[in-house]
Amino acid sequence: MITDFAGRTAVITGAGSGFGLEVARIAMQRRMNLALVDVQPDALERARAEAEAAGVPVLARRVDVADAAQMDDLGQAVQARFGAPHFVFNNAGVAAGGLVWENTVADWQWVLGVNLWGVIHGVRVFTPMMLAAAQADPAWRGHIVNTASMAGLLTPPNMGVYNVSKHAVVALTETLYQDLRLVTDQVGASVLCPYFVPTGISQSQRNRPADLPSAAPTRSQLIGQAMSEKAVSSGKVTAAEVAWQVFQAMGQDRFYIYSHPHALAPVAQRLQAIVEGRNPPDPFADRPEVGAQLRAALRSGG
């Protein structure tokens, strides 16, 4: 639990846009030291300039969070500049869809690299630093927030590679929470599970690395991209509102952070089916017309 943020240090990945940028803005208002991380240079530079204009100490680093060596270097740079961070927001993420057997090896490597390995590296690099700081000072407090998704609690069709990455982040963060509770009361953990919120994730192909190129999109992938862009762009909850929820959760030591609590009904249905050993429920039960349109589009072959 963190209630006093002034003078504390935040490490934020995916800081150039979306949730990362909005969390950074709140951190600026609360006078935190900022380590801003993004893979997109122009977005990172804008975030750095905004932080400097706000008068807060800032370290900006272009980092591919999927790269272990780059994340190790980031940890060393943060330690040298600010010491152990009090708040780590493992937030960088990308999206890809389509029928699960149509994703290429490069698709899997890219999505899992950013969405899962980026979180793994953030936990691996910064948790020991935070625990050492806590052991040295009984008053020290820290918190780690990992960005997953409602797709980490559900299994919507035609977006399997993304679902897999986000389910893994939920499992990783739940385990991190339990592991931390074994060794300390000074460092907490939360998982952010947003639903459809207007961010830049539906255009994440812009930052796909050249060594993991995309193949010509399949019909299911084109359909999935169009549906994702429509759903994300039409979201009514803003990234800024979600960012406030992140800070509230840290202050309350609350583990699960939801942007759309009403979306938990399908989660409850899924979990009940698991407990009762039933087949997975219809993901389109509340909106059957969407399921009918998707099935028709995928079966038409045209």
Query: Where in the sequence numbering do the catalytic residues fall?
Result: 162
Angle between helices 288-300 and 219-233 (to 10 degrees): 150
Sign of CA dihedral 72, 251, 137, 131: negative
81, 29 contact by CB (below 8 A)? no
Sign of CA dihedral 30, 201, 46, 66: positive
E strand or H helix at 292: helix 288-300
Say if CB 232 and CB 260 are below 8 A apart. Answer: no
Task: Using alpha carbons, select from 231, 123, 113 the residue that is nearest to residue 162.
Answer: 113
Helix locations, the chain, DSSP H: 18-29, 41-53, 68-82, 105-112, 118-136, 160-183, 219-233, 239-252, 264-276, 288-300
The 10 Å Cβ neighbour count of residue 137 is 11
73 and 52 Cβ atoms separated by less than 8 Å: no
Kindly provide the residue ranges of all beta strands, DSSP E only, lying in the chain, ordered along the sequence. Answer: 9-13, 33-38, 58-62, 87-90, 142-147, 187-193, 256-258
Q: Are 278 and 293 in contact (CB under 8 A)?
A: no
Q: Which amino acid is it at 231?
A: A
CA gap 65, 36 in Å, rounded? 12
Tokens of 89: 């927001």
- The DSSP output letter for 200 is S
